Structure 1
Amino acid sequence: MFTMTLRKAGLAAATALALSLTATACGGGDSGSGGDKINIGIKFDQPGLGLKTQDGDYTGFDVDVAKYVAKELGHEEGDITWKQAPSNERENMIANGDVDFIVATYTINDERKERVSFAGPYFLAHQDLLVRADDSTVRSEDDLNTSELKLCSVTGSTSAQNVKNDFAPKANLINYGGYSECLTGLENKTVDALTTDDSILAGFAAQEEHQGKFKLAGLNLSDEPYGIGLKKGDTELQQKINDALKKMVDEGAWEEAAKKHFGPANYEYEAAPEITEKS
């Protein structure tokens, strides 16, 4: 009788343990349920868009968009692991499963859509130049197409491709790994201009340590629709993100985030674009 009681107690304990382990195993990995971890790619070096601060926080318009989308997918802010997404690594990060999605000034274009899918767009920027405040050499697009002008951009960015393939094939184009390196080069006069999207340039110009040093040239060189990059063919996640972006605009949260991050730079951003990336 005593032996049987011990056996029953042991069996009950084993069953409870098995159920506990099963519940724990079922709780992780599903990107749609609350409390699960999610990996999101952003830029770490773009003020106003995606910036990792000295105290380890993450701030910017892209960060706010990513947080809103994650919440709509069932994730609290504490569930997010932020991953640095350099321009030339974004497609690989998505294809390798390093991130669930990327919100990192990621222009939608046909070449990229061969490897990844996009949701959105959620923002429309335009390529421009950042020059030193006292610079008067760049007044129009025609001033760019000369080997005497040292243009800096970032490896893997559409801005670098546009310079090389479209409006300034003769320019002396210097590619660095990040925009902060280009900005340093502009400040110490090893380059003459930094070219990328006006939204990014405005963020740099608005930083307290840079105020008065730089200015935008005011050239509208291209249209750059920012999308949220995700694994190619994942139409279910694409639709969920599109729904989240629409809700963000309809609720006014999109406009609130845009004013917060672009207002200090006096950057005249466009209204939220129509969502075009659909399955």
Structure 2
Amino acid sequence: MKLRTASAAAAAAVVLALTATACGTGSDSGSNGDKITIGIKFDQPGLGLKTPDGSYAGFDVDVARYVAKELGYDEGKINWKQAPSAERENLIKNGDVKFIVASYSINEKRLKEVDFAGPYFLTHQDLLVRADDTSITKVEDLNSKKLCSVTGSTSAQNVKEKLAPKAGLQQFGGYSECLKGLEDKKVDAVTTDAAILAGYASQQQHWGKFKLVGLSLSDENYGIGLKKGDSELKTRINKALGEMVSDGTWRKLVRKHFGPSGYKNEPAPKIAG
């Protein structure tokens, strides 16, 4: 009986050791050789959206698919992980993802914590208004209007504090609420990155209801975030992005995801060395 107990304990120890090893392998900077984990947004139409059927769609998602394929990972080998704005740096530094493609603007503060490949897209802070509204053509026009953005948005604060201090700022929990308010004439304009606004306006239920004013209130260069110091991965991703532009895929994806909104995008930005 004692021998059987000892044998069972030894077998259990082996199983535990193997399980621990397997778990450790899966967290190796977002890749375990067979699979790759990529961070995207789950709630941004046109850029990164988890659809009701459990699939993923958007410009950022398709960029990530293209890059992953160039790195040797087909669709079936991708694990998609939600990457909320406030968690992106932590996800990268903790090795929970290999890289992040999630309307991730390159700036000096973020470059202190992570590296970026790209940029792969240039957008600007803009305004979204109702399609029949001719009263807002410049940012100063907001001084007598109601402006909507999400709670804590730097875009809204930029307008309120610097560009149109007399604007009536309303902040909701999400941009979908802002668009509902815009449609119901409870607010007069919504502000954030033009690419994000175009993504919402391109949803079928919004076709023809809204338009972008076409302002450039800031420059936002979207890059692919990755672990600090991973120069090899950065070089490989930059090469993939270059191929995506040169073979025409970049242009096709822009038209596919932003075309219905009438968004006039900038040309593909020059990829940094």
> TM-score, structure 2 length as denominator?
0.80
Q: 1:46 to 1:28 in 2, by over 3 A?
A: closer
Q: CA deviation at 1:110?
A: 1.5
Question: 8 Å contact 1:48–1:261 — kept in the other structure?
Answer: yes
Q: 1:214 to 1:61 in 2, by over 3 A?
A: same
Question: 8 Å contact 1:120–1:226 — kept in the other structure?
Answer: yes
Q: CA deviation at 1:140?
A: 0.9
Question: 8 Å contact 2:130–2:210 — kept in the other structure?
Answer: yes
Structure 2 match to 1:4: none
Structure 1 unaligned regions, length at least 5: 1-16
Structure 1 match to 2:111: 113
1:157-182 superposed Cα distances (whole Å, 9 cap, x missing partner): 55345335543344343344432232
Question: 8 Å contact 2:31–2:98 — kept in the other structure?
Answer: no
Indicate the larger mover: 169-178 or 246-255.
169-178
* Distance (Å, rounded) in 2 between the aligned partners of 1:190 and 1:115: 40
Structure 2 match to 1:8: none
Structure 2 match to 1:227: 223
Which AA in structure 2 matches 1:78?
Answer: G
> Where does 1:125-140 land on structure 2 (aligned, <5 Å)?
125-140=123-138
Structure 2 match to 1:11: none
Structure 2 match to 1:40: 38
Q: CA deviation at 1:80?
A: 1.6
Q: Aligned to 1:256, what secondary structure does the other structure show?
A: helix
Which AA in structure 2 matches 1:109?
Answer: N
* Distance (Å, rounded) in 1 between the aligned partners of 2:78 and 2:174: 24
* Distance (Å, rounded) in 2 between the aligned partners of 1:29 and 1:71: 20
Q: 1:96 to 1:166 in 2, by over 3 A?
A: farther
Which of 241, 244, 247 aligns to 2:237? It is 241
Is 1:149–2:164 an aligned residue pair? no
* Distance (Å, rounded) in 1 between the aligned partners of 2:263 and 2:51: 22
* Distance (Å, rounded) in 2 between the aligned partners of 1:155 and 1:103: 22
Which AA in structure 2 matches 1:61?
Answer: F
Higher Rg: 1
* Distance (Å, rounded) in 1 between the aligned partners of 2:189 and 2:183: 10
Q: 1:142 to 1:48 in 2, by over 3 A?
A: same
Question: 8 Å contact 1:45–1:179 — kept in the other structure?
Answer: no
Indicate the larger mover: 247-256 or 123-132.
247-256
Question: 8 Å contact 2:31–2:97 — kept in the other structure?
Answer: no
Which AA in structure 1 matches 2:174?
Answer: G
* Distance (Å, rounded) in 1 between the aligned partners of 2:46 and 2:37: 21
Identity over aligned pairs, percent: 66
> Where does 1:253-264 land on structure 2 (aligned, <5 Å)?
253-264=249-260
Question: 8 Å contact 1:107–1:158 — kept in the other structure?
Answer: no
Structure 2 match to 1:185: 181
| Matched pairs, number | 256
> Where does 1:1-279 land on structure 2 (aligned, <5 Å)?
35-36=34-35, 38-144=36-142, 146=143, 148-155=144-151, 158-160=154-156, 162-164=158-160, 166-276=162-272, 278=273
Structure 2 unaligned regions, length at least 5: 1-13
Indicate the larger mover: 66-75 or 252-261.
252-261
* Distance (Å, rounded) in 1 between the aligned partners of 2:116 and 2:156: 21
Alignment RMSD (CA, Å): 2.9
